[in-house]
Amino acid sequence: MTALSLSIEIIGWTGAALILLAYLLLSAGRLPARSVAYQGANLLGAIAFAINSGWHGAVPSAALNVVWAGIALFALIRMSRA
């Protein structure tokens, strides 16, 4: 495995962990959906997951995560304006 491939894998697993942690904390009532922490974790996780998915040619997964990141970014922008 090359250094680049290893980096892409680490990015992907980190993204997955961020998305899962955000959902766990939301479901446990530890984070509100309208928090910067929740939306930020979703944004960063989705970007990382999209990078990994795109690298591996998993276009549907990459597209889903681009949309997921867009939703998180939209929420963060709305929260900053409120």
Domain definitions of the chain by residue range: 3-81
What pLDDT is stored for residue 1 in this prediction?
85
φ/ψ region of 57 (left if φ > 0, alpha if ψ in -120 to 50, else beta) reads: left
Coil/strand/helix, residue 32: coil
pLDDT above 90: residue 44: yes
Looking at every residue in the chain, the average pLDDT score rounds to 97
| 64-80: pLDDT as tens digits | 999 999 999 999 999 99
The number of angstroms, rounded, from the C-alpha of 56 to the middle of its chain's C-alpha atoms is 17
pLDDT above 90: residue 82: no
What pLDDT is stored for residue 21 in this prediction?
98
CB 44 within 8 A of CB 15: yes
Taking CA 16 as the corner, what is the angle to CA 13 and CA 21, rounded to the nearest 5 degrees? 125
pTM: 0.93
